[in-house]
């Protein structure tokens, strides 16, 4: 069975703080960002708080990649930059941006 990986509270809160800062820099409300990203405001609010639900305080948020992509699109910031800012770079991995970048490198 594959290991189940989730964010811990420190990581989830750091991601939430970064998303909040980016949202405020763009002068957006939580509701405006959530609507533009196609998620509900409560879900987005929980992401900024680093929590997965109001009922279960023991579970940190763990957004799907699709959700993070939609949020970053609204914020006009690359997903990779948010991930690196919050979690740090992964050693030995290079990422190329742009339409012409082929998987596997040059």
Confidence of residue 6 (pLDDT cuts 50, 70, 90): low
How big is the CA angle at 71 (ends 60 and 86), to the nearest 5 degrees? 50
- Tell me the mean pLDDT in the region 9-16: 91
Q: Is the pTM of this model over 0.85?
A: no
- What is the CATH architecture of 9-87? Orthogonal Bundle (1.10)
Would the pLDDT of 61 be above 80?
Answer: yes
Q: What is the mean pLDDT of residues 1-27?
A: 82
Q: Is the dihedral angle over the CA atoms 18, 23, 6, 83 positive or is it negative?
A: negative
Give the N- to C-terminal CA distance of the chain in Å, as an integer: 35
Give the bridge partners for 51, in sequence order.
Answer: 60
**Which residue in the block uniquely carries the two structure tokens 């998620």?**
39
Mean local confidence (pLDDT), 50-60:
80
pLDDT value at position 4?
Answer: 44
pLDDT recorded at residue 58: 72
Kindly list the distances between the CA atom of residue 27 and the CA atoms of 23, 33, 74, in Å, as whole numbers in the listed order: 6, 10, 12
Q: Which pLDDT band holds residue 1 (cuts at 50, 70, 90)?
A: very low
Query: Quick one: pLDDT at residue 88?
Result: 83
Rounded to a whole number of angstroms, the CA Rg of the chain reads: 15
As a whole number of angstroms, the longest Cα–Cα distance in the chain is 48
Rounded to an integer, the average pLDDT of 17-46 is 97
Domain ranges of the chain: 9-87
What percentage of the chain has pLDDT greater than the value 90? Answer: 57
């Amino acid at each position: 069975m594959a290991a189940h990986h989730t964010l811990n509270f420190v990581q989830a809160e750091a991601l939430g703080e970064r998303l909040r800062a980016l949202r405020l820099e763009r002068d957006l409300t939580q509701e405006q960002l959530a609507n533009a990203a196609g998620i509900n405001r409560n879900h987005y609010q929980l992401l900024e708080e680093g929590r997965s639900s109001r009922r279960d305080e023991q579970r940190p948020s763990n957004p799907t990649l699709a959700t993070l992509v939609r949020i970053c699109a609204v914020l006009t910031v690359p997903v990779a930059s948010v991930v690196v800012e919050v979690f740090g770079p992964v050693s030995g991995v290079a990422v190329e941006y742009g339409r012409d970048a082929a998987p596997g490198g040059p």
